[in-house]
Structure 1
Amino acid sequence: MRGGRALAVLALLMAGLGATAGRAEVEVLTFAELAGWEDDNHLAALKVFRQTCDQLKDPEWRPICDLAAQAETTEAAARSFFEMFFKPVVIGNPPALFTGYYEPELEGSPVRSGNFIYPLYAKPKDHVEGQQYYSRDQIDQQGILAGRGLEIAWLNDPVDVYFLQIQGSGRIRMPNGDVVRVGYAGKNGHPYRSIGQALVDRGLMTLSEASAPAIRAWVKRNGSYGLDLLSHNPSYVFFRKLRDVAANKGPIGAMGRSITTMRSVAIDPAFVPLGAPVWVEKDGDKPLRRLMVAQDTGGAIKGAQRADIFYGTGWDAGEAAGMIKDPGRLVVLLPIDRAYAALLPED
């Protein structure tokens, strides 16, 4: 028993959570049990929820999305909307693991020139999503894709290329001042392996030291040995140019819409429905209690209590996001019927 609420087995009867979710424990809460709920800006969260609600096609979501579109644009009305039509549900067993991601801004060139010799590749035509393609080592070290006309931009630092792939999107400032936005187009089908964990396993860094800024600095500081470490992760991301995204909008998430700074979060869709509101209770040095929307995914985001918070665009956002590796609790807001369906006994 936890919080006075009965624990049950999360059945796959909960349509839309994905057949790969297996079984995880679930607990239905009240809004009074959400720390800091009454202090949040629910109207800001409602506006973000509306941006992707039309993509939620399951029957439980359609009337809720219709009502979201009609809700009054006041804080009181927004809070009432969430409390009236949802129940907070904890899936899996906290503590959660919260990390952060961002949209980098990098210097680049449309052609190979000077120091700009490290390519961002478009998805090859012979690549089939979901099947294994060439590994990172074959692409980066052996140059197996070179000369095929797949280069969409060139950067001046291979470490920037790697971390841009980890983030999945970015802004490339060209020498003439133009900014090209790039986004995720696919990956090579190899499993993601953490280079931070590799540094820890090799005794080169402690787990508490393994933040994104520290890992980046270590790789750059160690020259060719550092670059060789990048091949420990065989997963490789391909990009595409994003031509229709306004400069004041965030990058495109997994739902095909711009995500929002500190209101969008990447989750594992095997457990959390894309587009669902989620209540974040992040602990650590900078605790966070905020209603966000699950609008993105990530190769390293696996599990019911795993989430990646979008911190925005640029250097400062990257510094903030890179320091986040905190415990807490992730709470999913589900339509009432679906929330209580999770408490059905197992057959």
Structure 2
Amino acid sequence: MMTISPAHPRARFFGLAALALTAFLSACTSPRPPSMGAAQPPAMPSQSVAAQDPSLTQLSGPAEMRQPASRWLAVPYTALPGWQQDDLSQFWTALQASCGRVSRAMAPVWTPVCRDAARLNNAPADQQRLFLQRRLQPYRIEAVSGAAAAQPDVGLVTGYYEPILHASRLPQGDFRVPLWRPPADLKTRVPYWTRQQLDTLPQAQASVAGQAIAYVADPVEALILQIQGSGRAIITEPDGRRIYSRLKFAGHNGQPYRSVGTWLIQNGQITPAQANWPGISDWMQRNPDRVQSLLWQNPRVVFFQEEKMAELPPGADADHDIPGPVGAQGVPLTGGRSIAVDPGSIPYGTPVWLSTTEPINLQPLQRLVMAQDTGTAIRGAVRADYFWGAGQRAEQAAGRLKAPLRLWALWPRQL
């Protein structure tokens, strides 16, 4: 038996936001998934063993490896559902990002793999897949004890994303909801003013005067950005130029976070089955005079710092090729190829085969991802928060993803 020591995680708010959208919606999928005790793992279709390379079936290295919060059991690649169908081109981008931040503990085994993988950046997917089969051994991840012991290899996946907002540098027209920098007296008043106080009390409003980075038109968009902890913004300057910026977490008011979705359920406004974004949005449209009171149920306010990315030419839209936000490993996240994990179960920088179900079309979601982020709510052996990227589809998918999950870690073979 071999023990791997994961890198020590740094606390990052972007990781903390990994389950925040789930908390906002209270129940982020419709219908609700089965409880973990009754969860059914995704189907494991039989695969014919391709004769082109024995690495599909060969096992090498320890039969079992232990992490503080999980155990890994060696399996062949034929145990990974959908392994042959994944297009690995985008995964290679995420792999190279993690290779640039290999921890000291993982360097002895990962440095040779990263060096050789760099030579295949532009290789066909089949060559990349063959390289992984020959250099990395799959391990099924299981819980070591506790409530999940009846199905130790089945866990839970949720989703998160990076919002894209349209904003104005100055308050004008419909753009009246401010996104603030940290106020100068933030550390001297603990806890700081609540959301309702900042909206209504003159002395509270004076404390954030001049601190607005920009203004958005929808207070709900502002709340979602605060829940996510980071987002992209297209900000219109007074001279008409559009600046593409990233708004990053820079502090909060020290007040507790409370879910508006939970409040709606508890007060009989919506049912648990309606506690998803379409359901909450519908309630807001039917009750416009109560939206502000709803938002005040969450007293926490998040403050931001702006990172200007580029100036957009006339007619251009958001550039989705700009790197994603930085996760807990210290590398930019890649939409569809990065996950947040419990680092006690999976060390940062580990390739992970993920098998679950798409939340919108209910098709299998089976692909190779990198463990690059974490969050206080992401705990357990088989637990992941899937980073969908940015934009409207990412928002819809992230808000609905809550499903049974199986994971396999890929670790360097002992050559």
Give the match for residue 28 of structure 1: 73
> For 1:207 and 1:201, how far apart are their aligned partners in 2?
9
| Deviation by residue 1:12-66 (Cα, 9 ceiling, x = unmatched) | x63326599x953423242322211121123431222102321122332441333
CA separation of 1:25 and 1:307: change in aligned 2, threshold 3 A: closer
Give the match for residue 281 of structure 1: 355
2:333 aligned residue (259, 262, 269): 259
Give the match for residue 90 of structure 1: 141
TM-score normalised by L of structure 1: 0.77
Find out whether 1:215 has 2:306 as its counterpart. Answer: no
178-187 or 160-169: bigger deviation: 178-187
RMSD: 3.5
Give the match for residue 249 of structure 1: 322
| Deviation by residue 1:265-291 (Cα, 9 ceiling, x = unmatched) | 233445433333222211252320011
2:6 aligned residue (1, 4, 15): 15
> For 2:335 and 2:395, how far apart are their aligned partners in 1?
12
Answer whether contact 2:341 2:379 (CA < 8 A) is retained. yes
1:315 aligned residue (382, 389, 392): 392
Find out whether 1:150 has 2:211 as its counterpart. Answer: yes
2:176 aligned residue (102, 107, 117): 117
CA separation of 1:82 and 1:282: change in aligned 2, threshold 3 A: same
> For 1:275 and 1:119, how far apart are their aligned partners in 2?
37
Where in structure 2 are there 5+ consecutive unaligned residues? 12-66, 311-317
Letter matched to residue 27 of structure 1? W
Answer whether contact 1:132 1:190 (CA < 8 A) is retained. yes
CA separation of 1:228 and 1:270: change in aligned 2, threshold 3 A: farther
> For 2:277 and 2:344, how far apart are their aligned partners in 1?
26
Where 2:336 maps in the other structure, the secondary structure is coil
CA separation of 1:37 and 1:192: change in aligned 2, threshold 3 A: farther
Answer whether contact 2:101 2:331 (CA < 8 A) is retained. no
> For 1:71 and 1:54, how far apart are their aligned partners in 2?
16
> For 2:383 and 2:73, how far apart are their aligned partners in 1?
18
TM-score normalised by L of structure 2: 0.66
Answer whether contact 1:169 1:251 (CA < 8 A) is retained. no
| Deviation by residue 1:179-213 (Cα, 9 ceiling, x = unmatched) | 33223223425554433333334443333332233
Give the match for residue 171 of structure 1: 233
For residue 177 of structure 1, report the CA deviation from its aligned partner: 5.2
Letter matched to residue 223 of structure 2? Y
Larger radius of gyration: 2
Answer whether contact 1:182 1:239 (CA < 8 A) is retained. no
Give the match for residue 295 of structure 2: 230
For residue 135 of structure 1, report the CA deviation from its aligned partner: 4.5
Give the match for residue 305 of structure 1: 382
For residue 171 of structure 1, report the CA deviation from its aligned partner: 2.1
Answer whether contact 2:324 2:335 (CA < 8 A) is retained. no
> For 2:192 and 2:378, how far apart are their aligned partners in 1?
21
Answer whether contact 2:142 2:154 (CA < 8 A) is retained. no
Aligned residues with identical type, % of pairs: 33
CA separation of 1:154 and 1:288: change in aligned 2, threshold 3 A: same
Letter matched to residue 350 of structure 2? A
Give the match for residue 290 of structure 1: 367
> For 1:219 and 1:76, how far apart are their aligned partners in 2?
49
Aligned residues: 325
> For 2:331 and 2:172, how far apart are their aligned partners in 1?
33
1:51 aligned residue (97, 101, 113): 97
For residue 162 of structure 1, report the CA deviation from its aligned partner: 0.5
Residues 186-205 of structure 1 mapped to structure 2, 5 A cutoff: 186-188=250-252, 189-190=254-255, 192-205=257-270
Give the match for residue 340 of structure 1: none
Where 2:280 maps in the other structure, the secondary structure is helix
28-37 or 308-317: bigger deviation: 308-317
Where in structure 1 are there 5+ consecutive unaligned residues? 1-7, 338-347
CA separation of 1:106 and 1:123: change in aligned 2, threshold 3 A: same
Find out whether 1:184 has 2:248 as its counterpart. Answer: yes
| Deviation by residue 1:160-180 (Cα, 9 ceiling, x = unmatched) | 101122332122342725033
> For 1:291 and 1:334, how far apart are their aligned partners in 2?
13
Letter matched to residue 368 of structure 2? L
